[in-house]
Structure 1
Amino acid sequence: MYEIIGTRASRAIRVLWLAEELALDYTHIPAKPRSDEARAANPSGKIPALREGDAVITDSTAIMTYLADKHGALTAPAGTIARARQDAMTQTILDDLDGVLWTAARHSFILPEEHRVPEVKDSLKWEYARNIARIEDGLSGPFVMGEAMSVPDILLTHCLRWAGMAQFPAPGEKLTAYQERMQARPAFQKVIDMP
């Protein structure tokens, strides 16, 4: 059995959603960052973490990639061109969306106040809008990679949701409809309804 460590209000929601899509047997430990439970899994106290027996994996994308590969779903097979394209999209989302949103969060409430530069957020919002428009232009199927859901869909949907909560620019019509479809999925709804 897997243990997924981290609150739904963090990137752990990505792992929880993937686990639900795969119908995995798991226990959720809703630990906050730097809590005793989080530090027991990851000495840095960062979440999420996945515990499988004595093994611990950290970082939401690493966890999702591991689980998708292990269970042979929500991913293209390793060593294929399709997988290389999927990995490229994963990295694009992490670099162009997640990284921008994380920088904004750091300058909003994470960094010590004397190290925050609130003025950077206007630039980050501009960059996010440019990047999300480019991703929207490339969306040609019901999912990011075409006809089948994959790990990048969970990343993108989470970033779109995060951006909305952070009052970043809204996506265009195509990505708005995509986000609504993804968030209507039963697995996503189950995670959102968790205590």
Structure 2
Amino acid sequence: MYTVIGATKSRALRVMWLLEELGEAYDQDPAGPRSDTVLKHNVLGKIPALIDEGHSLTDSVAIMTYLADKHGKFTAPAGTPQRAHQDAMTLWLIDEVDATLWTNTRHKDALPDLEARMHEQYAQAMKVLSNRLQSEFLMGDEMTVPDILAAHCMGWAAGVGFPPLDEKLSGYLKKLRARPAFRAALDH
């Protein structure tokens, strides 16, 4: 059984959501960043961490990639062009969306002009994402790790007052957040 370390209202939700989608059992320790529990598993003090067979794994995207590869679901096979496209999408989401949200969260109080710029960057990224969404999911007809990452980021953005999504992305997010696995992860 897996153990997810981190509060539900954090990037740990990404990991929990994927575990629910995979149908894998897990326990959750809602320890906060830099707590003794977290520092035991991640010297950086960041959440989430995943404990699997005595190994402490860190970084939500690395954990999701590990789980998807391990279980052979929600990912294209490693070493394929499809996987390279999926990884490119994942890295783009980290660089252009997640990093924007994190920068805003971490520095908006210290740099008052930053928030407007982060909102602008996010809005630009959402226009690009909307154009890239050409199927039911980001990578085609099947849900993959980038969908969880994108949905989590869009929910985070909405929760902190970032610009609203266009109709296409709003529908996409609503559909993803209606999935039973997402609801189960929230309620875990």
Query: Which category describes the TM-score, using the shorter chain as reference length?
Result: over 0.9
Q: How many residues align?
A: 188
Give the aligned partner of residue 84 of structure 1. Answer: 84
1:156-194 CA-to-partner distances (Å, cap 9, x unmatched) read 000000000111111110000000000000000011123
Give the aligned partner of residue 25 of structure 2. Answer: 25
Give the aligned partner of residue 2 of structure 1. Answer: 2
How far is 1:35 from its partner? Answer: 1.1
SS in 1 for 2:3: strand
How far is 1:149 from its partner? Answer: 0.2
CA distance in 2, matches of 1:43, 1:72: 29
How far is 1:54 from its partner? Answer: 2.1
Query: Identity over aligned residues, as a percent?
Result: 48
SS in 1 for 2:108: helix
Question: Residues 9-158 of structure 1: matches in 2 within 5 Å?
Answer: 9-108=9-108, 116-158=110-152
| One-letter amino acid matched to 2:87 | D
Q: Which runs of 4+ in 1 moved over 2 A?
A: none
1:85-138 CA-to-partner distances (Å, cap 9, x unmatched) read 0000001111110000000000136xxxxxx11211101111110111011011
How far is 1:2 from its partner? Answer: 1.2
TM-score (norm 1): 0.94
Deviating more after overlay: 9-18 vs 51-60: 51-60
CA distance in 1, matches of 2:126, 2:104: 16
How far is 1:43 from its partner? Answer: 2.0
CA distance in 2, matches of 1:117, 1:73: 41
RMSD of aligned residue pairs (Cα, Å): 0.9
1:160 paired residue among 154, 157, 167: 154
Unmatched runs of 5 consecutive residues or more in structure 2: none
Give the aligned partner of residue 182 of structure 2. Answer: 188
CA distance in 1, matches of 2:108, 2:38: 23
| One-letter amino acid matched to 2:78 | A
Unmatched runs of 5 consecutive residues or more in structure 1: 110-115
How far is 1:27 from its partner? Answer: 1.2
CA distance in 2, matches of 1:87, 1:43: 26
How far is 1:53 from its partner? Answer: 2.4
The answer to whether the Cα contact below 8 Å between 2:4 and 2:48 also exists between their aligned partners in 1 is yes
